[in-house]
């Protein structure tokens, strides 16, 4: 069956990538950028590295640095107001998922009327966003590569997932030099988010041979690099590998979809304001176990990609070895063992399960879950 695949039109990767945005911005025929970022990245000096490039090229810009860790509708509206007030005609988003997702929301509001809540779901906008130069600083959500973004609706206390080809960045930039200063805990959480994308993307109902190429490659690269990226953050080669790995799975899952690890993690993030990557990492092995019977021999391919020696092993054993390899990686990079440790309350499981079933990622899960199934997974991961 025919299928449309969406990729960012311009991709810049590797050490020094931010220098190469200059000729691309010149080609875009734009006047003034709204730089969308957060205070932590300003304090860390990461934003200045990009501003130096813009200053060197004499590109005008205004700065919006109010992005929150789990950006809200109010947050995006404030960014859009800054875009209007400063008469900007394109967005340069600098950061991990939060600034990237906020940047997409702002760029969509610039060309589409009404409220961001109107666009929750799949492909609801009529118009292409204003141009976005998406500069990633984590490895990562891959939001710089995807058609998806996630914004918290504070009124309904939930994360809205918006999958919209009109929101894809014009230029996607992955410069590992910007990732060197990323703290170990953030490296671990965002790295496990990327592994979750690759594993879920490889086992989703929407997987195709084309998305498999990206997701399997990402499992290989991320599982070989993440431990060193966490223990020795100054290793530029490993940072480059992680930046590449998270980007390729971005191209995979953006086009194939995900599953209930993300459905369930979105609710934990929206409900308790918890880091997305940590929630995913804790849930991932339990969901893989739940889905095992529905994914054929895909866990075997995952085990092999993660470097597990499966010779002379039975299929059931291999499935367990794949799940154990995920758990071990998670533990080695310091992810908490269960949801209890991060403040999740057992009493909320019923509400969380209802919300997870309604999440758009649930449709991609290889097995159709009931409320009891989802509740049981939350309990197992507790």
Binding-site ranges for Fe ion (CB under 5 A):
193
The CB-of-293 to Fe ion minimum distance in angstroms stands at 24
CA distance 244 to 111: 31
Q: Is the Cβ of residue 278 or residue 322 nearer to Fe ion in the bound state?
A: 278
Query: What is the distance, to the nearest Å, from the Cα of residue 24 to the centroid of all Cα atoms in its chain?
Result: 24
Among 10, 45, 52, 58, which Cα is nearest to 179's?
A: 45
The CB-of-207 to Fe ion minimum distance in angstroms stands at 16
The CB-of-164 to Fe ion minimum distance in angstroms stands at 16
The CB-of-163 to Fe ion minimum distance in angstroms stands at 13
Query: What is the distance, to the nearest Å, from the Cα of residue 254 to the centroid of all Cα atoms in its chain?
Result: 10
Alpha-carbon dihedral 112, 115, 116, 121, rounded to 10 degrees: -90
The CB-of-90 to Fe ion minimum distance in angstroms stands at 26
Q: Is the Cβ of residue 254 or residue 319 nearer to Fe ion in the bound state?
A: 254
- Other CB atoms within 10 Å distance of the CB of residue 371: 13
Q: Is the Cβ of residue 38 or residue 193 nearer to Fe ion in the bound state?
A: 193
Are the C-beta atoms of residues 264 and 376 closer than 8 Å to each other? no
Residue with the shortest CB distance to Fe ion: 193
CB proximity list for 70: less than 8 A, separation 6 or greater: 98, 152, 159, 269, 270, 273, 276
The CB-of-363 to Fe ion minimum distance in angstroms stands at 16
Q: Which token pair is 95?
A: 């950061």
Q: Is the Cβ of residue 193 or residue 240 nearer to Fe ion in the bound state?
A: 193
Q: Is the Cβ of residue 253 or residue 378 nearer to Fe ion in the bound state?
A: 253
Q: What number of CA atoms fall less than 13 Å from residue 47's CA on the CB side?
A: 22
Q: Is the Cβ of residue 65 or residue 148 nearer to Fe ion in the bound state?
A: 148
CA distance 337 to 66: 32
- b/e map of 114-148 (b: 16 or more CB within 10 Å)? eebeebbeeeebeebbbbbbbbbbbbbbbbbbbbb
Q: Is the Cβ of residue 30 or residue 216 nearer to Fe ion in the bound state?
A: 216
The CB-of-359 to Fe ion minimum distance in angstroms stands at 12
């Amino acid at each position: 069956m025919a299928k449309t695949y969406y990729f960012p039109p311009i991709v810049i990767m590797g050490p020094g990538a931010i220098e190469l945005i200059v000729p691309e911005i010149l080609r875009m025929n734009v006047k003034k950028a709204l730089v969308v970022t957060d205070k932590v990245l300003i304090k860390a000096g990461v934003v200045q590295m990009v501003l130096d490039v813009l200053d060197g090229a004499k590109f005008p810009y205004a700065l919006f640095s109010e992005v929150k860790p789990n950006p809200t509708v109010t947050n995006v509206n404030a960014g859009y107001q800054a875009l209007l007030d400063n008469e900007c005609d394109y967005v340069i988003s600098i950061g991990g998922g939060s600034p990237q997702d906020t940047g997409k929301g702002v760029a969509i509001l610039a060309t589409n009327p009404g409220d961001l809540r109107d666009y929750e779901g799949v492909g609801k906008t009529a118009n292409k966003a204003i141009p976005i130069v998406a500069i990633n600083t984590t490895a990562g959500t891959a939001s710089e590569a995807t058609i998806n973004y996630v914004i918290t609706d504070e009124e309904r206390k939930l994360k809205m997932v918006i999958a919209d080809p009109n929101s894809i960045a014009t230029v996607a930039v992955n410069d590992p030099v910007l990732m060197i200063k990323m703290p170990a805990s953030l490296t671990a959480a965002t790295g496990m988010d990327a592994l979750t994308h690759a594993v879920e993307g490889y086992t989703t109902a929407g997987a195709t041979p084309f998305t498999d190429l990206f997701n399997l490659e990402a499992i290989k690269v991320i599982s070989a690099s993440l431990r060193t990226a966490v223990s020795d953050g100054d290793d530029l080669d490993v940072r480059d590998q992680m930046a590449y790995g998270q980007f390729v799975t971005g191209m995979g899952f953006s086009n194939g979809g995900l599953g209930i690890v993300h459905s369930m993690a979105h609710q934990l993030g929206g409900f308790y304001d918890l880091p997305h990557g940590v929630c995913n990492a804790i849930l991932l092995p339990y969901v893989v176990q739940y889905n095992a019977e529905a994914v054929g021999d895909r866990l075997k391919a995952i085990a092999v990609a993660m470097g597990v020696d499966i010779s002379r092993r039975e299929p059931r054993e291999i499935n367990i070895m794949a799940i154990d390899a995920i758990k071990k990686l998670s533990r080695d990079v310091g992810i908490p063992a269960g949801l209890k440790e991060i403040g999740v309350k057992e009493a909320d499981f019923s509400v969380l399960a209802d919300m997870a079933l309604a999440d758009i990622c649930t449709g991609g899960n290889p097995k159709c879950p009931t409320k009891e199934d989802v509740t049981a997974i939350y309990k197992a991961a507790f």
